[in-house]
Amino acid sequence: MTSPIQKEIDQNFEAFEKLVPELIKNHRGQFVVMRKEEPIEFFDTIRDAMIFADTKFDDGLFSIQEINQKPIDLGWFSHAPVQSTV
């Protein structure tokens, strides 16, 4: 069963993927705090984003996304799981 935190992260990521072409114009490389599929605030470091979100949202239902479109590269000999195909 999906936890509420995981559900929030999954839903926010779906929303983030739609928003990223627009967000990247003015916020490339920044970190956005998202809640209920909406961008809330932008920060230069993940530390500042985490401190903000942890203070503001007691229920822990938020996510932080770095604003870039580069996927993680695992090289040729990958053992990464495929959780869900894109």
- Binding residues for another protein, rule: CB under 8 A, are 5-6, 9-10, 12-13, 45-47, 50-51, 54, 60, 63-66, 71-86
CB of 40 to another protein, least distance (A): 13
CB-wise, 1 or 80, nearer to another protein?
80
Residue 86: both structure tokens together: 């894109």
CB of 37 to another protein, least distance (A): 13
> How does DSSP assign 16-41, residue by residue?
HHHHHHHHHHHHTT-EEEEETTEEEE
Q: Write the CB contacts of 62 (distance below 8 Å, at least 6 apart in sequence).
A: 8, 12, 33, 34, 35, 40, 53, 56
CB of 29 to another protein, least distance (A): 13
